[in-house]
Each structure stands twice: as structure tokens, then as C-alpha cells.
Amino acid sequence: MPQPRIEFWFDFASTYSYLSAMRLGPLARAAGVEVSWRPFLLGPIFAAQGWTTSPFRIYPAKGRYMWRDMARRTQALGLPLKELDNMPQNSVLAARVAQLALGTTQGVAFCRSVFAAQFGQGRDIAEAAVIRDCLESTGLPCDLIDRAGQDDNRLILRRSTEEAMARGLFGAPSFTVGDELFWGDDRLEEALAWTTRHA
């Protein structure tokens, strides 16, 4: 019998994706669920809704609440958190490299390293030097940065984002089980439970 599978859709610029990325592995293993990590970009999805940036910047009260909520959540999870002034960061390079990295056994570790660099250390993931450090720390070759910019890889990310839109995703993190959509880190446990019941 095949192992139940869930898709984890994330944008590296998403604060709540950071929480899910850091706690998904143990929870999925305990539930006996296999995870497909799916990087995509929220920018085009926001643009389709008429937004030019994150709703956390469009609505300052929502942004202030988000950072306070993140402080509570990361403290409870034992995760570091640096509040960013330049949010949302440009996550295109990180996502393109992640697509290649996820074809290796170190791919998930790389993704977690990128999230940790940004939200745990306050580094700018738009900088190639930061992505290079994340690659090196997870034992991956730095030439993935050059390969990430090739047309075929750029097209894969574009198509992943288009697929996300077609499947009704509107934010990150999102979890899909077939046609079933769960949005938000606070739905992670529910999504895993659904996966085990409906595999």
C-alpha cells in the first residue's frame, strides 16, 4: 500500500512557512506521511488580487499582529526570530535554487537553512552570498546558483506558481491532499490527519 502523501506549498518570504518548515518533518514521520516540498511565489498570486506587496504591509495592524504572533509561536517552539524591516524579501533566487536542491537528499535541509538564515538570523535571502552559505552548510554544490537561473529551471518555478493559482492557493504555507486545501501553519496537524484518513 503506498504511503500517504501531502504537498507542502511554501514561499521563502512567508513567515508562517518558516514555522511549518521547521516542524513539519517530525510530525509527518510520526503520522507516516510522505511530504512533497513545493516552492512557489506569492507575488503573482497577490498581484492577481490587486495587491502590490504582502497584506502584512498593506494593513499595518495585521503586520504588527503577525510579528507578535510569530514571537509567541517561535518562543513556544524554541526557534529564533528576527523581525525584518525589508519584508517581504525577494525569494525568487531561493525558490529557484530550492527546486534543484529538492532533487537531492539534502534538499529539505537546504530549505530549512534558508528559512533559518532569513527569519532566525535576519539575513537577506535575495543575496547570492546568503544562498551560497546555505548550500555549503547543507553539503550542496554552489554551482546550483548558476544553474538556477537557466531558462528550464525558471520555467519550472513559473509553472509551479501557475499550478498553485489554478489549484486555488492564495497564501502560504498551504498543504494539499489531492484536491483538498489547507491554508496556514495552524492547519498543519489537521492536514496530516486528513492525509492519513483519506490516503
Total number of domains in the chain: 1
Candidates 14, 17, 20, 91; catalytic one: 14
Q: Is 14 a catalytic residue?
A: yes
Count Cβ atoms within 10 A of the Cβ of residue 137 and give its class: 0-12 exposed, 13-18 middle, 19 or more buried: middle
Kindly report the average pLDDT of the chain as a whole number.
94
φ, ψ (nearest 5 deg) of residue 184: 105, 145
Nearest-angstrom CA–CA distance, 67 and 156: 32
The pLDDT tens digits for 62-98 are 989 999 999 999 999 999 999 998 889 999 999 999 9
Q: How far is CA 112 from CA 1, 25, 105, 106, in A?
A: 30, 10, 13, 10
Nearest-angstrom CA–CA distance, 141 and 89: 24
C-alpha cell at 167: 489549484
Nearest CA to 98 among 179, 38, 176? 38
Backbone conformation region of residue 139, classed left if phi is above 0, alpha if psi is from -120 to 50, else beta: left
What band does 1 get if pLDDT is binned at 50, 70 and 90?
Answer: low
pLDDT at 30 over 90: yes
Domain extent for 59: 5-197
What band does 153 get if pLDDT is binned at 50, 70 and 90?
Answer: very high
- Give the predicted TM-score (pTM) of the model: 0.95
Nearest-angstrom CA–CA distance, 114 and 193: 27
C-alpha cell at 152: 528550464
CA angle 185, 94, 26 (to 5 degrees): 40
CATH code of the domain in which 186 resides: 3.40.30.10
Between 199 and 113, the higher pLDDT residue: 113
CB 111 within 8 A of CB 101: yes
